[in-house]
Amino acid sequence: MDNERTIILSTADKTILMHLYKTYRTPQSLFQLHKEYAFSPAQLGSFVRKLGEIDIIELQEDSILLTEVGKNWLLANRNIIFFSQIQYSWREVPEELREKKINIDSLYLPKVRKLGKHFLEDLSI
């Protein structure tokens, strides 16, 4: 197994890994996975290749199962695989559009004209 390589997992790969973890030691039919999750042959084919070449899963005819190496790998990397959020580029606010932040609980003077006509009335002061 090549430690230098990077493996890129899709959300489909994560779902299949979770399924294999739950059914550890029981071969899972690839066709059943297609039926159950509507994964395409391309998604499952790519999964088998990627995870098979690094011995995370084992292909037995048309079924797959998680290997012992795979189970340990999943446990060791569960934070990255199952709990990390995908960093979509559109989620990040570009630097130039960010307002200057003030510290939590620090005092500030609001701009009165931005408060709205009924702000003080709404506060019942």
Partner 1 sequence: MTQPADIRISPKSYSKSPQEIDPEVFRKLRKLFTDIYWLEDLEANFLELWNVCSDEQQQDLVIELIHRFSYITSRELKQCGEKIADQVTNKWKLNPSQTILIAFAEDNKPDGSQALLQSIKDKFAYLDKWSENNFFNKLAVGAYKLKSGDTAVLIDDFIGSGKTALRKINWLFSVLQKRNVTECKIYVVALAAMESAESVLQSIPIDDYFSCYWLRRGISDEYNGTELVAKTQLMRDLEGILGDTFRAHKLKTYNFGFKCSEALYNLEAYNIPNNVFPIFWWPVLKAGKKKNPMFRHFLG
* Residues in contact with partner 1 by the rule CB under 8 A: 1-3, 5-12, 14, 30-31, 34-35, 37-46, 48-49, 52, 54-56, 59, 62, 69, 72-73, 75-77, 80-81, 84, 86-89
Residue number, 29 or 115, with CB nearest to partner 1: 29
SS3 27: coil
Residue number, 88 or 108, with CB nearest to partner 1: 88
* In the complex, minimum distance from the CB of residue 95 to partner 1, in angstroms, rounded to a whole number: 21
Residue number, 9 or 65, with CB nearest to partner 1: 9
The burial class, CB within 10 Å (0-12 / 13-18 / 19+), for 20 is: buried
Residue number, 39 or 66, with CB nearest to partner 1: 39
* In the complex, minimum distance from the CB of residue 89 to partner 1, in angstroms, rounded to a whole number: 8
Q: Are 47 and 58 in contact (CB under 8 A)?
A: no
- Which residues face 50 on adjacent strands? none
Question: Minimal CA–CA distance to 84: which of 2, 9, 7, 3?
Answer: 9
Order of strands, sheet of 28-29, starting from the edge strand that comes earlier in the sequence: 28-29, 63-66, 57-60
